[in-house]
Structure 1
Amino acid sequence: DVIVCHQTLWQGIEDRVSVASGGWANLQFIRRIFRAYWLLLRRYRAVGDYDLMVVGYPGQLDVFLARVLTWLRKKPLVLDIFMSLSLIAQERGLVKRHPFTGRMLHLLENFAYRLPNRLIQDTPEYKAWLMSEFHLGDDRFRLVPTGADDRLFHPLEESPTSGATLHVLYYGSFIPNHGVPYIMEAAKALVNAHDIMFTFIGEGPDKATAQSYALANQLQNVEFIAWLPQSELLSYISGAGICLGAFGNTPQSVMTVQNKIYECMAMRKPVVTGDSPAVRDHFQHNEQIYLVERANSLALSTAILNLSRDSKLRNHLAQGGYAVVEKYYTIQAIGKVYREHLFMMLNA
C-alpha cells in the first residue's frame, strides 16, 4: 500500500522559477515554508507505521525534514530526483542572472543527495551526470523510467481535422532544452506546404520570442495556444498527425526522455524528436520513433515533410511506439520496477 502524505508548497513551475530568481530570501516565502511544513508534520503524525519513505520531485528541499523523520523511526529514505534543480536554473539562465542563488541551489543538492538511502533516476545518462557533478556512488542509484500515465494518456477516437491538413503538435514549456526555435525555423521552411499546420500549446520564458518570430516571418501555418485543461490537451494530441518531442542540445534535453514522448506514444501517435543515446536506449529509430539531429531545423523540416507524405510510416511509428509503451512504460509496468527496487532495499 502507498500512503500519500502531502502538503502543497509550490504553485507551479513559474513559482519555483521566481524563488530561484531570488524570491527565496523573501520573508513571505519563508513563512510559507514554515506553514507548509507545520501542516505536513500534522499529517505525518496521523500516518502511523510504514516501511519506508519516498520523497518525490521536487524533493531536494523536503528531503532534509524527511531524513530527520525517518531517522527518528529508523526507516529507510528514498529520493526520486527526476531533475536537477541547479541544472534547470542554469539552462534557464537563472544562474547567470543570480549567481549566488545558483551556488546555493548546487550546495543544497550536494547535501540533499547524500541523505537518502537510495536515489531514483530515469536514464543512465542522467545518473552518470549526477554522479560526476555531485560525486555520488553508483550503488546509491536505481533506474526507473518516466513513462506515461496511461489512465489519462491512451488512444481516443480521433478528433475531426480540417480537410487534408496534417497537424503537427508541440506541447510543453518554451524553454531552451525543448528547442522551440528549431521548430519555428522548420515551420518557416514549410510555410508553403499548405497541408501542414503547426500548433504550440504551453507557456514559458521563450514563448514571446517564438510569437515574435512567427509574426515577423508571417507564418500563417503556426498557432499558439495557452495551457489547456487536461481533457482539451488530450483532444489536441488525438487530432495530431505528428507529435514533437525536444530538439535542444542542452545537457538536460540530451540526458532525458521527455514526458511528452511517452504520452504521445501512449495515445498511439507518431513522434519526432531529437536524437540522443537516452532516447535510443528506449526506442528504435524508424520503428517506434523518428529521430533527427538536434539543433537542426533543416533535419526537422525534412522529417516532417517526409512523414506528411508517408501515412504508412506514420502508422508504423504510431503502432510501434504504442506497443513499446504498453509493454514497458505504463503506470503498472513502471510501478513493478519501482516496487522491485524498494523490496530489494528492504530485504537487503
Structure 2
Amino acid sequence: MIKNKPIVFDPLISKYMTKVFDYKKVSKYSIRGVKNYLKDKIPLTKADVVICDTHLHEKYFHDQFDVEYSKMGVVHVGFIPEDFNPENRASTNDNSFRVGFYGTFNPLQGVDKIVGAAKILREEKDIRFDIIGKGPLYNEINKLAKQENNLKNIHFHGLKPYDELGGMLNSFDICLGIFGDSIKTDIVIPNKIYHYAAVGKPIITKDTEGIREGFEHEKNIWLVENTSEAIAESIIKLKNDDSLRKSIADQARETAEQNYTDIGVAREFLNVLAKHDLILNKE
C-alpha cells in the first residue's frame, strides 16, 4: 500500500521472461538474471491486484513468482474502434494478393518463418508480402530476405505512423500473426491479432493456448504448426478459397466487436476492480 491506497499493477510483459527466455541472452542464474527476476517479483508481490492479458499469463505469474490467483485478473488488450475498422483502406498501385504483417522484430514475432514462407511462394507471382515495423532483429531478417535469398516478393516498409496503420492493414488480403518459439509467444494474444480482427481480415498465426483463449481455429482465425511450410500452405489454401477466407474474416470482425473494443476492455477492468472490492460493482 502507498499512503493507504491500493496498488493495481499491469506488468504487460515480464522483464525476466523477456531477457532470460525470449532473447536468451541472460542466464537465469546470473546476476542480471536475478536482477530481472526481482524487477518482476517485487512489484508483483507488493501489488494488491495484478492485471494479466490472458489466463495463461496468470498461470505464468503464479508458477514463476508465486503470485496468488486470488489477486490477479484478466483484462484483454483489445482495440480502439476509431483507429481500426474496415472502412479506411490505404490505396495500392497493383492487384497483388497481399499478405501482411506488422510488429517489432523480436523473438516473439518469428519473422524469419514469414521470410521462409515467402521463399517457398516466390514463384507465385501474384502474391506479395508486406512487412511493417522495425526492431532488434530487423537487419538480420532483411539480410535473410534480400541478400541471402534475393526475394522479390517481400517488401519491408519500416516503421509507420500509428494513424496510418489501420489503413495499411485494410489493404492486406491476409494478415500474419506471431510465429516465435519462446514461452511468451505461447501465452499471449498480441495486439496485432485484435487489430487484424477489428479490420475484418483473415488471420494466420501459430497455434497456441494463448490464442485459443480468444479465438477458434477455422471459425475466426487460421492456426498453423509453427513452420514456414505450414504458413505457406495456409496462405495458398485461404487465397484459393474465397468463401472460407471471407467467413473467417467476418467472424474475426464480429468477435472483435463483441468482446474486445475499448469499452469491452474497460468493462473487464472495472469487473476486476469490483472483484477485489476496489469499486462497487454496479452491474
Q: Same fold (TM over 0.5)?
A: yes
Do 2:117 and 2:229's aligned partners in 1 also have CA atoms closer than 8 Å?
yes
Q: Choose between structure 1 and 2: higher helix proportion.
A: 1
How many residue pairs end up in the alignment? 277
d(CA) in 1 for partners of 2:8, 2:120: 47
1:262 Cα deviation (Å)? 0.3
2:234 matches 1:297: no
Q: Distance in 2 between matches of 1:213 and 1:97?
A: 30
Give the aligned partner of residue 246 of structure 1.
178
Please give the alpha-carbon distance, in whole angstroms, between the structure 1 residues aligned to 2:253 and 2:185.
22
SS in 2 for 1:283: coil
SS state at 1:170 partner:
strand
Separation (CA, whole Å) in 2 of partners of 1:175 and 1:98 = 23
- Higher radius of gyration, 1 or 2: 1
Q: 1:103-123: per-residue Cα shift (whole Å, max 9, x none)? A: 211112111111111101011
Structure 1 spans left out of the alignment, 5+ residues: 1-66
Name 2:261's counterpart in structure 1.
Answer: 330
Matched to 1:109, the amino acid is: D
- The AA in structure 1 aligned to 2:145 is A
The one-letter code of the counterpart of 2:121 is L
CA contact (8 A) 2:97 2:173 kept: yes
Quick one: distance in 1 between partners of 2:169 and 2:51?
A: 29
Whole-angstrom CA distance in 2 between matches of 1:285 and 1:299: 14
- Amino acid corresponding to residue 100 of structure 2 in structure 1: L
- 1:179 aligned partner: 110
Check if 1:168 corresponds to 2:99. yes
Larger RCO (CA within 8 A; separation ≥ 6) = 2
CA distance in 1, matches of 2:174, 2:279: 45
Amino acid at match of 1:230: Y
1:46 match:
none
Offset from partner CA, 1:109-146 (integer Å, 9 cap, x none) = 11111111110101111111111111121111111111
1:98 Cα offset (Å) = 11
How many angstroms apart in 1 are the aligned matches of 2:208 and 2:102?
20
Distance of aligned partners of 1:78 and 1:272 in 2 relative to their CA distance in 1, 3 Å threshold: same
Q: Give runs of aligned pairs for residues 64-213 of structure 1, distance below 5 A.
A: 67=1, 70=2, 72=3, 74-90=4-20, 91-96=22-27, 99-213=30-144
Shift in Å at residue 197 of structure 1?
Answer: 0.4
Report the CA distance shift for 1:98/1:222 in structure 2 as closer, same or farther (over 3 A).
farther
Q: Return the alpha-carbon distance in structure 2 between the equivalents of residues 107 and 97 of structure 1.
A: 11
Over 3 Å counting, the alpha-carbon distance change for 1:237 and 1:98 in structure 2 is: farther
Is 1:284 paired with 2:227?
A: no
Cα distance in 1 for residues equivalent to 2:255 and 2:241: 22
TM-score of the two chains, using structure 2 as the length reference: 0.93
Structure 1 pair 177/347, CA: closer, same or farther in 2 (3 Å)? closer
Distance 1:97 1:132 in 2: 15
Can you give the 5+ residue segments of structure 2 that lack an aligned partner in the other structure? none
Using the TM superposition, give the Cα deviation of residue 87 of structure 1 relative to its aligned residue in structure 2, in angstroms: 0.9
The one-letter amino acid of 2:171's match is G
CA distances 1:131-184 after superposition (whole Å, capped 9, x unpaired): 111112111111111111223111224334444311111110111111111111
Stretch deviating more after TM superposition (158-167 or 77-86): 158-167
Three-state SS of the structure 1 residue aligned to 2:108 is helix
- Conserved 8 A contact 2:131-2:156: yes
CA distance in 2, matches of 1:147, 1:312: 27
Aligned to 2:241: 310
What is the identity, as a one-letter code, of the residue corresponding to 2:158? A
* Residues 28 and 34 in structure 2, CA contact (< 8 A), matched pair in contact too: no
TM-score (norm 1): 0.76
Aligned 8 A contact 1:146 1:259 in 2: yes
